[in-house]
Amino acid sequence: MESKKSKNVVHSEVIRTDYFSLPKSLKRKYITPFIILDQQIKRNLINGGIKTRPVNSNGLWCCSLLPAILCIYAYFYKVSLLYKIVACVSIGLLVYSCLFILFLSVSCVVLNYDTIHGGCTASTMASVLLLYVFLEQDLAFSILCAFPTLHLYNLLLRFCLLSHPKTFTVGEAMLVSQGISLLTITILIKVFYDIGESDEEMEFINTIVNTVLSTVGLIVTALYLLTDEQRNLGNLIKILLVGFIFTLMILHSIIGVGFLPKILYYIFFDKNRVQIFTFWLSLVVIAVVVLVSRTRLAVKASTVTRKAFHVLASLVFLSGLLLDVNLITLASGIGLALIILIEAIRKSQIEPISGALQSAFDVYSDDKDVGSFAMTPIYLFAALACPLALVPAHAGAPLELLAGVLAIGVGDTAASWLGSNYGFYKWRHDNNRTLEGTAFNIISQIGTVYALQLFELLSTNNMIIRASVAAVASGLVEAHTDQVDNLVLPLVSLLAFQATYVLC
């Protein structure tokens, strides 16, 4: 009896704290059913022995962010055929996500399916119909795009939740799995199909990025398949060497004999890029020096200290987005591959490299990094870079490309610093976010955009109004969500920018 009572108390407490500021009628009609659904899924996961990241909610709403952004851009803007294809496939992922949520609300048995089930098949058909009817694509091509993507999404979702306890919430697992699945199908379409993309420079960049990401994927797979006896420095060097040779062979076959001088010229000498690269290199050196010195001291870094790396990463992306979008696109693709590779080596248990990386992780790990992987730095890099992949060329693109920098590098960092030092009034008793931090979050984003406009580094129509709407949206979400900020805030900012698209 007492146990049942305590469960009811916890249930009511979660409902009360999650949306305390809304009118009661709105709570009962619209919000309460979703809270009850969320709690039912949490109970089913606990009963099934599945451990998600320990937070109050599952973040089910995250599954709609990426498909919504893709579909809005595909509908309202002039985008490439590839972009439209990916948007249609994302709708299938959203349909399956909704069905997956309904299945989880009944039982977690859906996670134990080893094969494709009815929900996945139905979601595949939704994408196939969109591709075949609205984009007038060949039926075989539509099936080849939709079926592998949905199947991969199903496998990744189960892999995230079953094989890596305490690493993801359900919503975070959905969002990460969606991103990987859509990135994979994008690369495959570019490799095996000619869909009429004519930008020679972007094709050059995409070739390099896709090759590097593919190589890292193969290296990570090889590290994963090593036995305990094979996990030594010699085998690691062999795997990296084979990966390097594979990359050279692929680039040679696609770009041509002089691919290496061409790449070096593009990075360092074309359009005076050597100055930009030198600035980035100086920031990287600063970050490495601080990281090594702090690791040697073995003193746990505070939240504010960790935000210093947010500032350094944001300076890299801000300078690239303002001065040379194509170069930062190339750099972000290679940088993401390197971060994934470093994390894979840390988890590979190959000494002494893995031990050194683990020491740095112990010092700088976030309280959200309680699972199998250090997802926070990967999320940070992906957050800053995701607008490059999601925002098509249009009048308001220069501002929207800064969504990650503004939401994470500026707003979240400002909120963390001021909230921890001067914050007094908390949003609620179980939340460490303060009203002062949120206010500074919003003001700092607007102020940054105003400064960029003042120094004529950025100029789009009604940019202050649009930035204000995005800042308020991301600031309020940052104050109330318990999902990883680095993952969701840039996408929320992009949706807010899209909501004000008429102003651009």
Q: pLDDT confidence of 3, banded at 50, 70, 90?
A: very low
Q: Render pLDDT for 253-284 as a digit per residue (tens, 0 to 9).
A: 988 888 889 988 888 877 778 889 889 999 98
Question: What separation in angstroms does the CA of 462 have from each of 393, 468, 471, 502?
Answer: 18, 10, 14, 10
Q: Render pLDDT for 45-59 as a digit per residue (tens, 0 to 9).
A: 988 888 899 888 899
- Report CA dihedral (363, 364, 370, 373) to the nearest 10 degrees: -110
**How far is residue 418's CA from residue 423's CA, in Å, rounded to a whole number?**
6
- What is the DSSP secondary structure assignment for residue 434, as one 8-state letter? B
Question: What separation in angstroms does the CA of 316 have from each of 267, 276, 312, 319?
Answer: 15, 9, 7, 6
Instruction: Tally Cβ neighbours within 10 Å of residue 263.
Output: 16
Domain contains 213:
yes
Tell me the residue type at 248.
Answer: L
Average pLDDT of the residues in 209-235: 91
**Number of independent structural domains in the chain:** 2
Between residues 275 and 177, the one the model is more confident about: 177
Domain contains 204:
yes
Q: Give the helix/strand (H/E) hosting 41.
A: helix 32-47
- Report CA dihedral (443, 444, 450, 454) to the nearest 10 degrees: 140
Q: Render pLDDT for 240-250 as a digit per residue (tens, 0 to 9).
A: 999 999 999 99
What totals of helices (H) and strands (E) does the chain contain, helices first? 22, 0
Cα 471 to chain center, whole Å?
19
Is the preceding peptide bond at 165 cis, omega within 30 degrees of 0? no
**How far is residue 38's CA from residue 60's CA, in Å, rounded to a whole number?**
8
Question: What separation in angstroms does the CA of 46 have from each of 98, 161, 172, 295, 307?
Answer: 20, 12, 17, 36, 33
Tokens linked to 271: 């359009």
Domain contains 12:
yes
**How far is residue 104's CA from residue 164's CA, in Å, rounded to a whole number?**
18
Q: Render pLDDT for 185-206 as a digit per residue (tens, 0 to 9).
A: 998 888 888 776 667 888 899 8
Which structural domain, as residue segments, surrounds residue 246? 199-314+325-370
Residue 414 scores a pLDDT above 50: yes
Q: In sequence order, what are the beta bridge partners of 233?
A: none
**How far is residue 51's CA from residue 165's CA, in Å, rounded to a whole number?**
5
Average pLDDT of the residues in 227-241: 91
pLDDT at 19: 41
**How far is residue 340's CA from residue 151's CA, in Å, rounded to a whole number?**
23
Q: Give the helix/strand (H/E) hosting 163.
A: helix 139-163
Q: In sequence order, which residues have a C-beta less than 8 Å from that of residue 55 and are 6 or more positions away?
A: 169, 482, 483
Q: In sequence order, what are the beta bridge partners of 428?
A: none
Domain contains 105:
no
pLDDT at 177: 95
By CB neighbour count within 10 A (0-12 exposed, 13-18 middle, 19+ buried), where does 221 fall? exposed
Q: pLDDT confidence of 498, banded at 50, 70, 90?
A: very high
Q: Render pLDDT for 335-368 as a digit per residue (tens, 0 to 9).
A: 999 999 999 999 888 988 888 888 888 877 777 7
Q: Which residue has the tokens 């940052």?
A: 478
Query: Are the C-beta atoms of residues 437 and 423 closer than 8 Å to each other?
Result: yes
Query: Are the C-beta atoms of residues 411 and 92 closer than 8 Å to each other?
Result: no
- Report CA dihedral (365, 367, 370, 373) to the nearest 10 degrees: -40
Instruction: Tally Cβ neighbours within 10 Å of residue 354.
Output: 18
* Closest listed residue to residue 240, CA positions, set 375, 358, 359, 344: 344
Domain contains 489:
no
First-last CA distance in the chain: 60
**How far is residue 172's CA from residue 157's CA, in Å, rounded to a whole number?**
10
**Ramachandran angles phi, psi of 426, nearest 5°:** -85, 150
**How far is residue 462's CA from residue 12's CA, in Å, rounded to a whole number?**
43
Q: Give the helix/strand (H/E) hosting 102.
A: helix 81-106
Burial 399-424 (b: 16+ CB within 10 A, else e): bbbbbbbbbbbbbbbbbbbbbeeebe
Residues in the chain: 504
What average pLDDT does the structure give for the chain?
Answer: 85
* Percent of the chain at pLDDT exceeding 90: 46
Angle at 5 between CA 4 and CA 9, to 5 degrees: 120
pTM (predicted TM-score): 0.89
H-state helical runs in 298-426: 303-323, 325-347, 353-364, 375-390, 397-400, 403-404, 413-422
Q: pLDDT confidence of 489, banded at 50, 70, 90?
A: very high
Q: In sequence order, which residues have a C-beta less than 8 Å from that of residue 366 and are 6 or more positions away?
A: 303, 306, 376
Among 335, 350, 370, the domain boundary falls at: 370
Q: In sequence order, which residues have a C-beta less than 8 Å from that of residue 44 and are 6 or more positions away?
A: 104, 105, 106, 107, 108
Poorest-confidence range of 73-82, 113-122, 286-295? 113-122
Query: Are the C-beta atoms of residues 349 and 363 closer than 8 Å to each other?
Result: no
Domain contains 68:
no
Domain contains 15:
yes
Among 306, 336, 370, the domain boundary falls at: 370
Domain contains 383:
no
**How far is residue 294's CA from residue 307's CA, in Å, rounded to a whole number?**
14
